[in-house]
Amino acid sequence: MHRRTLLAGVAMTLGLLATGAVAQEPLKVGFIYVGVPGDGGWTYQHDQARKEMEAHFGGKVVTSAIENVPEGADAERAITQLALDGNKLIFTTSFGFMDATANVAAKFPDVKFEHATGYKLAPNLSVYDARFYEGRAVIGTIAGRMTKSNKIGYIGSFPIPEVIQGINSSFIHARKVNPNVEMKIVWAYSWFDPAKEADAASALIAEGVDVILQHTDSTAPQAKAQEAGIYSFGQASDMAAYKPKPRIASIIDHWTPYYIDRVQAVLDGKWESKASWTGIKEGTVQIGEITEAVPAEVKAEAEAVQAKIADGSYHPFTGPLKKQDGSDWLADGQVATDAELQGMNFFVEGITAEYPK
């Protein structure tokens, strides 16, 4: 109790100081990363966006970042540290920071918080996410066409809705172009562990998989795919170093416009708590170059899917779709609601892997 009042007091003092000197002092913006910017994937993209945002505002904004923060109790300490350091806007960039962010936000009412991929809102806490599953629809199409063994592999991180959406969307679209396709799923239970991701890729390759999709942050599976001479897709970042093979396309997270938008809102005093979920249409989700290893007609097919998603004429989760147990989910032409997607906790029909419970 005492500590909390003290923290709040310190925060308020800092707040008063900051507002008092608003004309000269640049706005301080803090970031919490689950991995390191050098992962070449998820955290790298956030870090790039942070730098681009800072450059965009010239000297008006100063940013700082804490790397490699574990998801759990320690995250709360790191976020509190940023708040005490006088950051007025704090981005926490992993799902597992959700509770920690909400707790710290309650203690610092005059600091604005933005949590990536979560769903807990507060007057000073926004959430933002990207519709990665839209990108998955495009690369799932390519995967379904490119596999010769009809087995595609998927390295999952944690069974949370964001990842489940990706698995389902990839599978649905691979099946659409190749009815014989099967999907093998391995859970790494980590966002970032290159050795384990490499082992997971090897395990999938040993099972006869010849296309690998990953939802983990490092480029280790790309290296394994290259060794085995099979195909892979860049995840979160372009992973261009593995072009033109094994990486034949990628899903790129592009956070810069959102970061600029939100920082501008704070500068203008117009920041409001909201849930933002944008995708291919808004440019948050981009598809990296589809390389020459992909036949032209497959590339055209994938780009058609992308175009239909971009202009809003097609939703990746459109009925008829059934759940894994055969029960009905979406009727013909029916489209999944955002609420359904954000709570997605089942595989669609056709995936044979056990849903992790």
Partner 1 sequence: MTLGGIDIVMLIASMMVAATPILLAATGEMVAEKAGVLNLGVEGMMIMGAIGGFGAAVLTGSPVIGFLAAAAAGVVMALLFAVLTLKLLSNQVATGLALTLFGLGLSALLGQGLQGIKPPPTARLPLGPLADLPVLGPIVFGHDWVVYLSLALVVAVRWYLARTRGGLVLRAVGENPDAAHALGYPVVRVRVLALAFGGALAGLGGAYLSLVRVPQWTEGMTAGAGWIALAIVVFASWRAERVLLGAYLFGGITVLQLRLQAAGVAIPVQILSMAPYLITILVLVVMSARGGRARLQAPAALGRPFVAVR
Interface contacts to partner 1, rule CB under 8 A: 35-40, 68, 153, 184-187, 189-190, 192-196, 198-200, 202-204, 206-207, 209, 218-220, 223-224, 226-227, 239-242, 352-354, 356-357
Q: What's the burial of 218, exposed, middle or buried (CB within 10 Å: 0-12/13-18/19+)? A: buried
CB of 202: closest distance to partner 1 in angstroms?
6
CB of 67: closest distance to partner 1 in angstroms?
9
Residues 98 and 191: their CA atoms lie apart, in Å, by 15
* Residue 240 or 266 having the CB closest to partner 1: 240
CB of 31: closest distance to partner 1 in angstroms?
16
Q: Are 302 and 249 in contact (CB under 8 A)?
A: yes
What would the two tokens of residue 196 be?
């384990």
CB of 210: closest distance to partner 1 in angstroms?
13
CB of 71: closest distance to partner 1 in angstroms?
14
CB of 160: closest distance to partner 1 in angstroms?
13
Distances (CA, A) of 339 to 94, 161, 169, 188, 345: 20, 11, 16, 27, 12
* Residue 88 or 184 having the CB closest to partner 1: 184
Residues 333 and 312: their CA atoms lie apart, in Å, by 14
Pairing of β 112-116 and β 151-156: unpaired
Residues 32 and 50: their CA atoms lie apart, in Å, by 11
Which residues make Cβ contacts (< 8 Å) with residue 276, sequence separation at least 6?
126, 127, 128, 129, 258
* Residue 224 or 299 having the CB closest to partner 1: 224
* Residue 163 or 309 having the CB closest to partner 1: 163
**189 C-beta neighbours (distance < 10 Å), count:** 13
Residues 285 and 298: their CA atoms lie apart, in Å, by 20
* Residue 141 or 237 having the CB closest to partner 1: 237
